[in-house]
Amino acid sequence: MPSRIASFRSFLGLNRNVAVLAASLFGLALGEELWQAYIPTYLTALGASGLVVGLFGSCKDLLDSIYQYPGGWLADRVGRRRALLIFTALAMAGYVTYAIAPSWPFVFVGLLGVMAWKSGAFPLTFAVIGDSLPRERRAIAFSVQSILVRVPRVIGAPMGGLLIASLGIVAGIRAALLATVLLALVVVAVQGYGYRDDRDVPRRDDSTGMRAVFAAMPPSLTRLLVADCLVRIGEGLATSFIILFVTQTRSFSVVEYGALYALQQAVAIAFYLPGGRIADMTGRGPLVALTFVFFSTFPLAVRFATSFPALLAAFFVGGLKELGEPARKSLIVDLAPDHQRARTVGVYYGIRNLLVVPAGIVGGLLWQRGPTLPLEASFVVGAIGTVVFVLTSRRAGSVAPK
């Protein structure tokens, strides 16, 4: 029995440090998912306009870009454990600021801290998996990590919706934020006492800057980056407005939206392990292309859904967006140079998320002209990105090492 357990843990990539990282991801996600899907409604309750909601989405994308490279640099330079603690502490400060915000500008201030964890620690996750596992185990490991992040979405979003329904938007979200702070304290304790900084990645080329890291990226990775940018720009046009479209344009309740969101996450969870296993066995490219297709079609499915059953079908499609995400992430790790893996991931996501920044503002402008426009534009731009990926992959032969 112990040997079977050890084999199972090895298959999933669950050594001590990966387990601590997984616990951190799970704990903070459990807290954040109580309120994260409802932040646009929190902003409007604090006096924000539709354009401000779009600006908030763009600010998230901007910070997502800014924090990526410093997060990768910290992971490569000062160690995994210290980087985890720094970004978790900053996130806690952000949660507190959200909770005490008297008006919407303070939510923007809190975003500075919240995004430190969501983006700063992101390259670290890639680096730990890349350092610990061979190529044929990486996609399944990313699947496990993603499941641990998304299980809280199934639990947290409906619970958050119930809190809001019983306490009101502002009081309900503030109660959820208090619970998140308490969970973050537990996570800090787990990181402090459980993580062993074994220095698996050598500290060399510490002076390498972003430009040099980008120049060292192989052509296959830059081609993936171009297509990924287009698909995510399309997603950014609609992301902040899907909840508003469902609750305001289609007149469904926040609790019903919470159920839709939970369905989306449940579908994603159900397909993560099969998607990761297929990617490890057959290659990355086909699943990456398929996930780009679902990214593009999800907002269009929401746009044409006029009944709750139709919305259920649309959010099922939204869950399928994640089918090829383990393949895409493992492809990035496969192609990144070993000695600067975290920084390469940071540069990749920094560039991608920087280019996505204007999408939220453009989506806000489109929303003010008509509530269906952000969803329609999202489909068009995402479809272009999907076509670019398929064509460049064929021209290159394959971008999916096995």
The span from the CA of 187 to the CA of 25, in Å, is 9
Closest-CA residue to 24 (of 163, 209, 193): 193
Side chain identity at residue 350, one-letter code = G
Residue 200 DSSP code: -
Count the neighbouring beta carbons within 10 Å of the beta carbon of residue 72.
31
**Total-model pTM:** 0.76
Per-residue confidence (pLDDT) for residue 107, from 0 to 100: 95
Handedness of CA 360, 363, 367, 372 (dihedral sign): negative
Q: Supply 67's token pair.
A: 């924090």
Instruction: Read off the pLDDT of residues 37-61 as tens digits, 9 standing for 90 and up.
Output: 899 999 999 998 888 888 888 788 7
CA dihedral 389→390→393→398, nearest 10 degrees, is 120
Check whether 154 has a pLDDT greater than 90.
no
Average pLDDT, the chain: 85
The CATH code belonging to domain 13-192+210-396 is 1.20.1250.20
Count the neighbouring beta carbons within 10 Å of the beta carbon of residue 366.
22
Percent of the chain with pLDDT over 90: 39
Per-residue confidence (pLDDT) for residue 401, from 0 to 100: 45
Per-residue confidence (pLDDT) for residue 400, from 0 to 100: 45
Confirm if 374 and 366 have CB atoms less than 8 A apart: yes
The span from the CA of 176 to the CA of 160, in Å, is 7
Band the pLDDT of 12: cuts 50, 70, 90: low
| Segments making up each domain of the chain, as ranges | 13-192+210-396
Instruction: Read off the pLDDT of residues 252-305 as tens digits, 9 standing for 90 and up.
Output: 998 899 889 889 988 988 888 888 888 877 778 888 999 999 999 999 999 999
Check whether 94 has a pLDDT greater than 90.
yes
The span from the CA of 89 to the CA of 180, in Å, is 12
Closest-CA residue to 141 (of 125, 118, 119): 125
Length of the chain: 402
126: left (phi over 0), alpha (psi -120 to 50) or beta: alpha
Per-residue confidence (pLDDT) for residue 10, from 0 to 100: 55
Check whether 213 has a pLDDT greater than 90.
no
Check whether 225 has a pLDDT greater than 70.
yes
Count the neighbouring beta carbons within 10 Å of the beta carbon of residue 154.
19
Closest-CA residue to 363 (of 240, 257, 228): 240
The span from the CA of 177 to the CA of 174, in Å, is 5
The span from the CA of 179 to the CA of 162, in Å, is 14
Per-residue confidence (pLDDT) for residue 132, from 0 to 100: 67
CA 400, distance to chain mean position in Å, is 22
Instruction: Read off the pLDDT of residues 166-199 as tens digits, 9 standing for 90 and up.
Output: 999 999 999 999 999 999 999 999 988 887 766 5
Band the pLDDT of 4: cuts 50, 70, 90: low
Band the pLDDT of 362: cuts 50, 70, 90: very high
Instruction: Read off the pLDDT of residues 383-393 as tens digits, 9 standing for 90 and up.
Output: 999 999 999 87
